Chains A and B, each alone.
Chain A
């Protein structure tokens, strides 16, 4: 792959992810509207509000950009950029069909989780540099929560890797041709459960959206941000969410494997299904408290993830035939 070719592919990926994310926000608003016996957006781009994401983007671009007088200007401006860039970088290693992946390395899973865990830096810096007490509390919560939930997340990600014996997404997808990992007795179900719960916590989604917690901390780390910088956080959150849905479909749901359609179509269908599941949880659950959330992690998810990994490892070593 030449440099130009790679560059072009990167642009295509960036553009399509942006477009998908924009319309995922539209989809979420419509979906939550239906769930709450509302209509959701419908005025801009009637009759279904098709143009709402574009109108929102334009509005955010046109808004005044306020920086608090005593904020740390450099960090304040850098934090949203960091969050967006890191969220997008993770995508480069994901495989979309069985043969299309932007950066093809055999350590894809490791790189993906490494980039995922860097987001916390941006969120923490945003909360710190805003010079606002709500943002500060939120930053501290973020640090505690995201670092803690990193552990069960990685533990559950490791299960497919151990079963396959590779960190390459392509190998993992290939190995699921015979049977998806979600149907793998016990180990598969437990790891998808642990993965989804800790991914929700990583992505600041209800019931774990404590860094944002607008009924307590108003808007948490993004309380002082306005206009496009605020949109960056929002964008980062949705990109992360999309990545989580995509990753679930690749690691546990067989990725492009499926009858009738092309591989890409199956990936899209599965990703959307996981996304809808996450939305459904968001719009029907209340929020946990910070201590309850940490207890859930340290007393339930982490031990369960460890046990699960142990069983997966035992199974893999018993069936080891090079």
Chain B
């Protein structure tokens, strides 16, 4: 009774957070219902960045599509094209040389490091604002990421959308001296990330803002189909590189970091540890790079030549954000009949209406940041 009177007199404040907002990580709208500053209900709205990639795929030849998919998740382009390329290769039963598989891993893991560095930087912005300590963390992380982009540039000629993956292999081979540059960059980043980790773990404000906030219980993570660091932060050891291996991942030694509580801090620490694990993988791949061809279909004569048999296939890879799956249906022509992308960000932000209520507005920003959504990936 008391409760109802209060509600009638003061009501709830409906606040539209986004689509233009500094910390919604793109164009995302959260319809927050507040009582005071406490969130009582959340309705997320997506679709502001829909670009119709799936429909576009039906009008393009298979060999034209990997670059298009690189634009999908714009923080880790390679894992998108990798998923598509793997799907088509399974569809058309194309063998990939071992050297190509290793090079794909090198690029994918380097981009995982870059993506996690962007995440750490923007997470700083979420917690500390663009006019304070957060900006400092942001700029430091972007400085380190720049080193990886430089590596990409010297390897492929492009800083970001590398076009490395092609159906049948990779486009660029390493040049002499590349391994040395990679090892050097990796040890630089390893040092710096260790420093940031130390600084953040000793920062009482950071711990206050992240520990015990936005807890995702394991059952909820399973229920909504969360994957990647969000799922592992909740303590479920599920990594496609281990559980459903693709490429040459079984040949490498690496750990799968998991959290305990499933709060924002655990997701942060899982990501930071993943940077370290990725560094290990790249080191092994660079040291054990096998000799041989990098492409099994070269020279490509015409883009319309590839006509997979009538079949459908689902292939998933572990992108920095989680399970990125491609479901490709072929009708025997040179263009896919249908492509469906199972994007990790989409499933991960489905957690929002479940975990936000009860938190304050400031926590909403921290929790959204900790899920690491990329809206190019959500809306496709």
CB distance from B354 to the nearest CB of A (A): 21
* With contact pairs A214-B129, A283-B133, A283-B136 given, residues A290 and B205 touching in the complex (Cβ less than 8 Å): no
- Contact between chains at B23 and A206 (CB < 8 Å): no
In the complex, which of the residues A133, A209, A215, A289 has the most CB atoms of chain B within 10 Å of its own CB atom? Answer: A215
* With contact pairs A213-B362, A215-B126 given, residues A286 and B135 touching in the complex (Cβ less than 8 Å): no
User: What residues on A are CB-neighbors of B50 within 8 Å?
Assistant: none
- Contact between chains at B209 and A288 (CB < 8 Å): yes
- Contact between chains at A206 and B132 (CB < 8 Å): yes
CB distance from A314 to the nearest CB of B (A): 32
Fill in one digit per residue for A57-73: 1 if any B CB lies within 8 Å of its CB, else 0.
00000000000000000
- Contact between chains at A284 and B136 (CB < 8 Å): yes
CB distance from B359 to the nearest CB of A (A): 10
Fill in one digit per residue for A113-157: 1 if any B CB lies within 8 Å of its CB, else 0.
000000000000000000001101100010000000000000000
- Contact between chains at B132 and A218 (CB < 8 Å): no
Total number of A residues with any Cβ neighbor in B under 8 Å: 32
* With contact pairs A289-B363, A292-B208 given, residues A216 and B23 touching in the complex (Cβ less than 8 Å): yes
- Contact between chains at B133 and A37 (CB < 8 Å): no
Give bound CA distance, A134 to B365, whole Å: 14
Q: State whether the Cβ of B140 lies closer than 8 Å to any Cβ in chain A.
A: yes
* Complex interface residues of chain B between 102 and 141 (CB less than 8 A to chain A): 124-136, 139-140
Q: Among A214, A218, A288, A291, which residue has its beta carbon within 8 angstroms of that of B205? A: A288
Q: Which residue of B lies closest to A285 (CB)?
A: B133
Q: Among A133, A218, A288, A292, which residue has its beta carbon within 8 angstroms of that of B21? A: A218
Give bound CA distance, A290 to B135, whole Å: 20
Q: State whether the Cβ of B360 lies closer than 8 Å to any Cβ in chain A.
A: yes
- Contact between chains at A286 and B209 (CB < 8 Å): yes
Q: Which residue of B lies closest to A137 (CB)?
A: B37
Q: State whether the Cβ of B289 lies closer than 8 Å to any Cβ in chain A.
A: no
CB distance from A217 to the nearest CB of B (A): 7
Q: Among B13, B130, B134, B361, which residue has its beta carbon within 8 angstroms of that of A286? A: B134
Q: Among A37, A134, A212, A288, which residue has its beta carbon within 8 angstroms of that of B143? A: A37
CB distance from A288 to the nearest CB of B (A): 6
Q: State whether the Cβ of B74 lies closer than 8 Å to any Cβ in chain A.
A: no
- Contact between chains at B362 and A290 (CB < 8 Å): yes
- Contact between chains at A290 and B127 (CB < 8 Å): no
* With contact pairs A216-B362, A286-B127, A291-B360 given, residues A35 and B22 touching in the complex (Cβ less than 8 Å): no
Chain B interface extent, by class: 20 to 34
- Contact between chains at B128 and A36 (CB < 8 Å): no
User: What residues on A are CB-neighbors of B205 within 8 Å?
Assistant: 207, 285-288
Q: Which residue of B lies closest to A286 (CB)?
A: B128
Q: Which residue of B lies closest to A295 (CB)?
A: B208
CB distance from B366 to the nearest CB of A (A): 9
Please classify the interface of chain A as helix (H, G, I), strand (E, B), loop, or mixed, using the class held by over half of its residues: loop
- Contact between chains at B360 and A215 (CB < 8 Å): no
Give bound CA distance, A217 to B125, whole Å: 13
Q: State whether the Cβ of B206 lies closer than 8 Å to any Cβ in chain A.
A: yes
Q: State whether the Cβ of A38 lies closer than 8 Å to any Cβ in chain B.
A: yes
Q: Among A37, A207, A216, which residue has its beta carbon within 8 angstroms of that of B361? A: A216
User: What residues on B are CB-neighbors of A30 within 8 Å?
Assistant: none
- Contact between chains at B22 and A215 (CB < 8 Å): yes
CB distance from A258 to the nearest CB of B (A): 32
Give bound CA distance, A286 to B206, whole Å: 7
User: What residues on A are CB-neighbors of B360 within 8 Å?
Assistant: 289-291
Give bound CA distance, A20 to B65, whole Å: 58
Q: State whether the Cβ of B224 lies closer than 8 Å to any Cβ in chain A.
A: no
Q: Among A141, A218, A289, which residue has its beta carbon within 8 angstroms of that of B22? A: A218
Q: State whether the Cβ of B302 lies closer than 8 Å to any Cβ in chain A.
A: no
- Contact between chains at B135 and A283 (CB < 8 Å): yes
CB distance from B155 to the nearest CB of A (A): 25
Give bound CA distance, A137 to B125, whole Å: 20
User: What residues on B are CB-neighbors of A289 within 8 Å?
Assistant: 208-209, 360, 362-363
* With contact pairs A36-B140, A37-B140 given, residues A215 and B133 touching in the complex (Cβ less than 8 Å): no
Q: State whether the Cβ of B305 lies closer than 8 Å to any Cβ in chain A.
A: no
- Contact between chains at A206 and B133 (CB < 8 Å): yes
Give bound CA distance, A216 to B37, whole Å: 11
Q: State whether the Cβ of B49 lies closer than 8 Å to any Cβ in chain A.
A: no
User: What residues on A are CB-neighbors of B23 within 8 Å?
Assistant: 215-216
User: What residues on A are CB-neighbors of B363 within 8 Å?
Assistant: 289
Q: Among B21, B37, B128, B206, which residue has its beta carbon within 8 angstroms of that of A206? A: B128
Q: State whether the Cβ of B256 lies closer than 8 Å to any Cβ in chain A.
A: no
User: What residues on A are CB-neighbors of B174 within 8 Å?
Assistant: none
Q: Among A134, A137, A141, A283, which residue has its beta carbon within 8 angstroms of that of B132? A: A283
User: What residues on B are CB-neighbors of A214 within 8 Å?
Assistant: 22, 129-131
- Contact between chains at B133 and A286 (CB < 8 Å): yes
Fill in one digit per residue for B361-380: 1 if any A CB lies within 8 Å of its CB, else 0.
11111000000000000000
CB distance from B97 to the nearest CB of A (A): 41
Q: State whether the Cβ of B303 lies closer than 8 Å to any Cβ in chain A.
A: no
- Contact between chains at B37 and A290 (CB < 8 Å): yes
Give bound CA distance, A161 to B79, whole Å: 65
- Contact between chains at A38 and B132 (CB < 8 Å): no
Give bound CA distance, A213 to B21, whole Å: 12
Given contacts A215-B22, A215-B125, A287-B209, 6 further A-B contacts (CB under 8 A): A36-B135, A36-B140, A215-B127, A287-B362, A289-B363, A291-B360
Residues of A within 8 A of B (CB): 32, 35-38, 133-134, 136-137, 141, 206-207, 209-210, 212-218, 282-292
> Can you list 20 contacts pairing A with B, beta carbon distance less than 8 Å?
A32-B135, A32-B136, A37-B140, A134-B15, A136-B13, A207-B205, A209-B129, A210-B362, A212-B131, A215-B22, A215-B129, A215-B130, A215-B365, A283-B132, A283-B136, A284-B133, A284-B136, A286-B209, A289-B360, A290-B360
Residues of B within 8 A of A (CB): 13, 15, 21-23, 34, 37, 124-136, 139-140, 143, 203, 205-206, 208-209, 360-365
